[in-house]
Structure 1
Amino acid sequence: MPILYQDADLVVVNKPSGLLVHRSPIDRHETRFALQLVRDQIGQRVYPVHRLDKPTSGVLIFALSPAIARALTEQFTAHQIEKTYLAVVRGFAPESGIIDHPLVEEPDKMMPGRKAPTEAQSALSHYRCLAQAELAVCIEKYPVSRFSLVEVQPKTGRRHQIRRHLKHINHPIIGDAKHGRGRYNRYFKEQLATDRLLLAATRVCFQHPVTGQALSIQAPLDCCMTQLLQRLGWQAWADHFNQISSPPF
């Protein structure tokens, strides 16, 4: 697995789409997990401090000791870690905005004893639209279909927050089987060879728990997302997120 950063205290990797962070009763059939793969790769035990959904790719942090794991978890809990995601969504998204929409917890159906709370929890996401594109194809009821490349910074960490928030503003993420639009997902799979959730954690910024150094770690996009951005006419953004050029503002 590509290592983005490593020192004596932590390791940061670029998790591929389709890989669970650790063993879960949700996917009992899975035998490969990021935690075990990274442990075997670097030859020492690692401790998860946050997670990415199975279909989401990108920056994933592991601590190399329980003490570092606690320190990083405290930063996450205090919202001191800045996370940036990239998504391809249906429709022309607004130039920028803030989604302040509380979310009721989505319990795992296979987790016994877990119930959703009676009240929604606060959830806040900031976003901006980087690019837009049209395809001359009727996917639902219009003769052309519109898409946007959106950058999102969640300020809280609710389960499936970005996916649910973008659905809330009527711009669901392409490839989202639960919160997206089936016809769009099928079109991208059958016509554009894109069979994954088009959501990637592209950057994480935080303070090193030992040295105090400000770290900003970026993950390049995988081949699937890179090629999709190119096909939609967003080559400059594909280059930028793969660290080839400056932002094409």
Structure 2
Amino acid sequence: MLHPSMIPILTPEALQARVLYRDADILIIDKPAGLAVHAGPKTTIDLEALLPALRFDGREVPRLAHRLDTDTSGCLVLARHGKALTRLGRAFSGHGVDKTYWAVVEGGPAADLGRIDLPLKKRNDKSGWRIVADAKGQPAVTDFRVLGRGDGYVWLALKPATGRTHQLRVHMAEAGWPIVGDPFYGSGRTAARPLHLMARHIGLPPLGQNRPAASAEAPPPDHMRALLAACGCALSGSETAR
């Protein structure tokens, strides 16, 4: 998890400034790394508690349509009312949502394109739980594309065809290229090098007749920028991190 000093202070105005897309049905926000989406025993603040600040002109407080891991930043979709939540649920459970993640991994694949098809299963023991590769687990498929390489690291675009817990993190580790800063499946994180994984892009289908399709792209968080640059990523001025 990010050191508390690295997590943005989310005043209502700061959270509103992270809105990437807004219409009558949905919001897409840029969730900061280090912020849990739900309350938990180890969280001091969570996104759900902050959502009243995103009501804007709506009658209801927005609700989460899906989730991101605490240490993953980027595009997160919120439903602005109950009907939108139901329709988004159908879109996420089917194949109607287009998701692209960026990751910086250690080592990296020899091929520039590929697919990882590896079932996953949740395993519980005395120390807690983790996700493991298991032939008897749930199907899990991730497509990858190399975007850049540099000095022992590779910048990848990842497209999950399924949405299993920790899918991208486990698939990268099992392939032999753990995500930089992964404390569970990689070589570990430090205060200076947290998890290098973000939800870069999301595309949603229209939620009804005369409703628009929606999409958004999030800027990389500050902690990923050095290694992205080392792998050849040239960020434009419009991608200034929030």
| TM-score, scaled relative to structure 2 | 0.80
Partner Cα distance (2:104, 2:83) in 1:
37
Look up the match of 1:207.
Answer: 205
Structure 2 counterpart of 1:199, which letter? L
> What is the count of residue pairs matched by the alignment?
214
Query: Any idea what the Cα deviations from partners look like across 1:108-136, whole Å, max 9, x if unmatched?
Result: 9899xxxxx993010111101111111xx
Q: CA deviation at 1:7?
A: 1.8
1:18 matched to 2:34: yes
Question: Structure 1, residues 196-245: CA drift from partner, whole Å, max 9, x if none?
Answer: 21000000011131344222211111222223323x15242x339939xx
Q: Which AA in structure 2 matches 1:133?
A: G
What amino acid sits opposite 1:242 in the alignment?
A: E
Q: State the one-letter code of the partner of 2:168.
A: I
Q: AA paired with 2:203?
A: C
**Counterpart of 2:215 in structure 1: which amino acid?**
S
TM alignment of 1:238-249, pairs within 5 A: 238-239=235-236, 242=239
**Does the C-alpha gap of structure 1 residues 15 and 109 become closer, same or farther in structure 2, counting only changes over 3 Å?**
farther
Alignment-derived partner of residue 86 in structure 1: 102
* Deviation readout 1:1-53 (Å, 9 max, x if unpaired): 200011221111100011111223xxx13231122223224355111110000
- Deviation at 1:103? 0.6
Selected match of 2:80 from 64, 76, 79: 64
Provide structure 1 residue ranges, at least 5 long, that are not aligned to the other structure: 112-116, 135-145, 244-249
Q: 1:132 aligns with which of 149, 153, 158?
A: 149
CA separation of 1:198 and 1:121: change in aligned 2, threshold 3 A:
same
Secondary structure of 1:104's partner? strand
Which residue number corresponds to residue 3 of structure 1?
A: 19
Aligned partners of 1:51, 1:13: CA distance in 2, in Å? 12
What residue in structure 2 maps to residue 219 of structure 1?
218
Whole-angstrom CA distance in 2 between matches of 1:203 and 1:109: 37
- Residues 1:48 and 1:233: Cα distance change in structure 2 (over 3 Å): closer
Q: 1:128 to 1:241 in 2, by over 3 A?
A: farther
> Who is 1:197 aligned against?
195
Q: Aligned match of 2:184 in 150, 156, 178?
A: 178
Residue in structure 2 matched with residue 39 of structure 1 by the alignment? 52
Cα deviations across residues 164-223 of structure 1 (Å, max 9, x unaligned)?
1111110110010000024xx45xx5xxx33x2100000001113134422221111122
Whole-Å separation in 2 of the counterparts to 1:50 and 1:107? 23
Instruction: Decide whether the 8 Å contact of 2:30 with 2:73 is kept in 1.
Output: yes
Q: Which sections of structure 2, spanning at least 5 residues, go unmatched?
A: 1-14, 129-133
- 2:126 and 2:79 map into 1 onto residues whose CA distance is 29
C-alpha separation in 2, matches of 1:58 and 1:213: 21
SS at match of 1:158: coil
The residue that corresponds to 1:163 in the other structure is 169
SS in 2 for 1:53: coil
Residues 29 and 81 (structure 1 numbering): CA distance in 2 closer, same or farther, change over 3 Å?
same
Tell me how far apart the structure 2 counterparts of residues 212 and 97 of structure 1 sit (CA, whole Å): 35
Contact 1:202 1:241 (8 Å CA) reproduced: no
Measure, in 2, the Cα distance between the counterparts of 1:65 and 1:131. 40
SS in 1 for 2:120: coil
| Amino acid corresponding to residue 197 of structure 1 in structure 2 | L
Aligned partners of 1:15, 1:219: CA distance in 2, in Å? Answer: 9
Between the aligned partners of 1:101 and 1:126, the Cα distance in structure 2 is: 11
Distance change in 2, residues 1:10/1:167 (3 Å): same
Q: In 1, are the aligned partners of 2:100 and 2:199 still within 8 Å (CA)?
A: yes
